[in-house]
Amino acid sequence: MRYIAETLNQSYFQSEYLLFDPATPDHDAVNIVFAFPNTYTVGITSLGYQGVWANLATRSQVNVSRWFTDAHEDLPRKIEILGFSFSWELDYVNILAALKKFEIPIDTCDRTDEHPLVFGGGPVLTANPEPFAAWFDIVLLGDGEELIGNFLNAYQEVRYASREIKLRHLAKLDGIYVPLLYEVTYVSDDGAIASIQPIDSDIPAIIHKQTYKGNTLSASTVVTEKAAWESIFMVEVVRSCPEMCRFCLASYLTLPFRAASLESSLIPAIAKGLQVTKRLGLLGASITQHPEFDTLLDYLAQPQFDDVRLSLASVRTNTLTEKLARILSTRYSRSVTIAIESGSERLREIINKKLHNDEIKQAAINAQAGGLKSLKLYGMAGVPMENDDDIEQTIEMLISLRKIAPKLKITFGCSTFVPKSHTPWQWQGVSTTAEKKMQHFRKKLLPKGIDFRPESYKDSLVQAMISRGDRRLTKLLILACSYSDGDVPSDGSYKRAFKELRGQLPPLAWYVHEDWDVQQILPWQHLRSALPVETLIKHRETSFAY
């Protein structure tokens, strides 16, 4: 088994083409293991993970090794810092397993000066780290471009101090959250939060997420055939989204909307990447809203890129022109994805989705006229204030697209509305009728030739639980894992854990289904994102005024 694992390690890392020059570590470099709590194939496809790893690897004061659940580089004998890039909630199972593998106590309170400092970053922790707070000595909140360097510089100042001094020193840095230094109290064991306070007056009461404001965004630092998207070079066209749909974490958490410079960032990055691969992925929540997107399209439409396979993230519906569809089809793309959320004009106004039905239909017409074979649409069930008529209008809309663009394969991916922190709908619970509505979609759409792909309703409930979770969930997550023998816990495992811990934390329905009072203290109240809670309340009130 050891020989197989070593062969796998070599196969993965020998297949990489690096697009940066790693630094030679100093003789006294800080030994860091930077982990992605999933397989190499999944982890190396994460642009965020690639970017932070390259940021670390280009610093001579750092000796960084990568770790995945199925492969790792040579690890130092003594690890000084262990970091995790946390992108998907259910990967917490692999974080627990990794801590055990590295023989690090799961709870920060049980660690000594002999143990590495454990930090975490990424969208899950930036959104709400509280269910996992006991596992991380340090949480990096926000964009890593400048935060990583600031963190390392501050660490060097106290490198040889005690663990307590290190944590207290780092906690004073913008964007660094040390959960151990904050005390959470509750109205009752199974009630709402009463307060969140730093344990001392010299610890900041509010931690502000860090926002990178430059116009050079992320691009792949490694290309490999072993990635989930084989041999792809990825470049971030925009960050955040100006639409601000009321449920959207990708918009509210990452504000303000930023676009990469076309001349100084995008085109040079693309030119560099296409020297080593013929597959290009343009990433971003709303890439077609880049102010110079048409110019970028013209650039990629040049004859020298005729052999390039081009992929786009989801595009804004009313920007899906025939020109865009034609360029995609001539660049080996068969489909394009748009997010419509609903076929109901009324519901989209509530969501703040600035989109009309005619624009959805025109997008389908343009996709077919441009030579694409498939149109993928994303929507939701269980949206706040949704009614049965909204569901029927979505069905009618999708069926109408089959008639308007009969040559297109129409796919409808549907998820359950899940409340996300730092959004105007963070106070709204998951609808108990969402699963029934998903089943209705299936019943009506499949006979009409529409490919219906629902996300798991049970997984959505777990996402909601973690999304709105507080520190009391920590014990429950560990307990649920103990029932599953190392696998991702089942729905039954969570229910069993809630039953066993009854009275020690609120019931599952409180975390998942109940609407919360806007005046109650939220688990992430001390972690400040782009907009203050008062502004989110106003946006919520606006959405419900329709």
> Coil, helix or strand for 134?
helix
Burial 361-381 (b: 16+ CB within 10 A, else e): bbbbbbbbebbbebbbbbbbb
- Supply the pLDDT for residue 11: 83
- DSSP conformation class of 496: H
DSSP bridge partners of 187: none
Q: What is the pLDDT of residue 7?
A: 45
Give the helix/strand (H/E) hosting 308: none
The pLDDT of residue 487 is: 82
From the list 215, 294, 300, the residue with the least C-alpha distance to 260 is 215
The two tokens of residue 12 are 């993965």
- Burial class of residue 174 in the structure, from the number of CB atoms within 10 Å of its CB (0-12 exposed, 13-18 middle, 19+ buried): middle
The answer to whether residues 161 and 179 touch, using CB atoms and an 8 Å cutoff, is: no
Task: Quote the pLDDT of residue 76.
Answer: 95
Cβ–Cβ < 8 Å for 285, 312: no
How, if at all, do strands 409-416 and 374-381 pair?
Answer: parallel
Q: How far is CA 254 from the centre of its chain?
A: 11
Yes or no: say if 508 and 494 are a contact pair by the CB < 8 Å rule. Answer: yes
User: Could you check whether the bond before residue 506 is cis, i.e. omega within 30 degrees of 0?
Assistant: no
Domains identified in the chain and CATH numbers = 2-208 (3.40.50), 231-468+516-543 (3.80.30.20)
Q: Which structure tokens are listed for 81?
A: 């810092």
- Own/partner contacts of 389-394, CB < 8 Å, gap of 24 or more, are 389/344, 390/342, 390/343, 390/344, 390/346, 390/347, 391/437, 391/440, 391/441, 393/342, 393/343, 393/344, 393/345, 394/342, 394/343, 394/344, 394/441
- The predicted model scores a pTM of 0.95
Start-end of H helices in 370-507: 388-404, 434-445, 457-467, 473-484, 491-500
CA distances from 493 to 418, 476, 479 (A): 20, 10, 8
237 touches 290 (CB < 8 A): yes
| CB-based contact 143:210 (threshold 8 Å) | yes
Distance CA 381, CA 441 (A): 9
541 half-sphere exposure, CB direction, 13 A CA radius: 8
Answer whether 297's CB lies under 8 Å from 323's CB: yes
User: Please, what are the averages of pLDDT over each run of 10 residues along the chain (546 residues)?
Assistant: 46 94 97 98 97 98 97 96 96 96 97 98 97 98 96 98 98 97 97 97 96 95 96 97 94 95 96 96 94 95 95 92 96 95 97 96 98 97 97 98 96 98 98 97 97 96 97 97 87 95 97 97 96 96 92
- What is the structure's pLDDT at 8? 53
- Whether the CB-CB separation of 226 and 398 falls below 8 Å is answered with no
pLDDT at residue number 1 = 33
pLDDT score of 19: 97
Tokens of 108: 């920060």
Quickly tell me which residue has 């030994």 as its tokens.
31
Q: Is the dihedral of CA 400, 405, 409, 410 positive or negative?
A: negative
Whole-angstrom CA distances from 522 to 108, 158, 306, 512 are 23, 33, 52, 14
Residue 122's alpha-carbon distances to 86, 142, 244, 411, in angstroms, are: 5, 7, 20, 30
Look-up: residue for tokens 């020690």?
Answer: 504
